[in-house]
Amino acid sequence: MFVFLLSLTVSMITGEASQCCVPPQFQTNIDTMTSLSSTMDKRFQTARFSYDAMSKKLRTHVVAQTKEDEFDRIEDFSAGKSFTWARGICKVSSTGPFNQICIPDEAKLVRESFMGVSPNIIKLKTYMVTLENNMTELTTVGDNCTPIEMVSFSSKSPQPDGQFMRIFYNMSMGIKDSSIFTPPKICS
C-alpha cells in the first residue's frame, strides 16, 4: 500500500502548471489491485483516503487480504511528520514537502469519454504520463478533476515493476470530521 500512496502523490504531482487539480478536500474509498510480475503475486487492498490540501494533511486507513497488510497513516505536511501504525506499533518519520495532487502539464490527453445514464452523465478525461523507471500511468478524472481510475504499468516486458490499478468510489467533498488527522496516543 505504501507503493500506492507514493504513486498517488508522485504520479499526480504537479510543478507550477497543471492540466487540473483534485478538489482541495475530499474523502473516498480506493480499491487497489497490485500484480507483481516477478512473483506472480496479486494483492487487493481497500483504503479510505482523506485529502485536505487546505491543512496539508492526508489520512489513509487500509484494509487488506491479510491482517499483516492492514495499517493506518496520517501525513501531516505542515508539521513535517508522518505517522504509520498497525497492530499496536507506531512509526513516526519525516515527510517531504506538500504537493497538491494534480494532473501534470506534460500529461497527454488520450481519451474523452463518459459514464452514467442520462441525465446523470459524468464526462471523463484520461491522461497518460510517463513516470520514472519506464512506468506509464493512465489517470482518468471526472468533473472538477475528481479521480476515477489510475492504471500504472511498465513498458518493459515482462513488467518487473508490476502493474497497479486503483478505482475510486464513494467520494464525498469536504472533511466530515477533522479529528481523523489526529494521531492515536501510541504515536505520542
Convert the pLDDT of each residue in 50-89 to its tens digit: 999 999 999 999 987 777 778 999 999 999 999 999 999 9
- Owning domain of residue 21: 2-187
Q: What is the CATH number of the domain that holds 95?
A: 2.50.20.30
Provide the pLDDT confidence category of residue 161 given band limits of 50, 70 and 90: low
Number of domains the chain contains: 1
Question: Mean pLDDT across the stretch 154-173?
Answer: 79
Res 155 pLDDT > 80: no
**127 neighbors 138 (Cβ within 8 angstroms):** yes
Provide the pLDDT confidence category of residue 188 given band limits of 50, 70 and 90: confident
**Residue 71 β-bridge partners:** 62
> Of the ranges 8-12, 84-88, 158-162, which one carries the lowest mean pLDDT score?
8-12
**76 neighbors 53 (Cβ within 8 angstroms):** no
Alpha-carbon span 77 to 73, nearest angstrom: 12
pTM for this model (two decimals) = 0.80
What pLDDT is stored for residue 7 in this prediction? 44
Quick one: residue 131, left, alpha or beta (phi over 0 = left, psi -120 to 50 = alpha)? beta
Alpha-carbon span 34 to 175, nearest angstrom: 28
Mean pLDDT of the chain: 85
Res 110 pLDDT > 70: yes
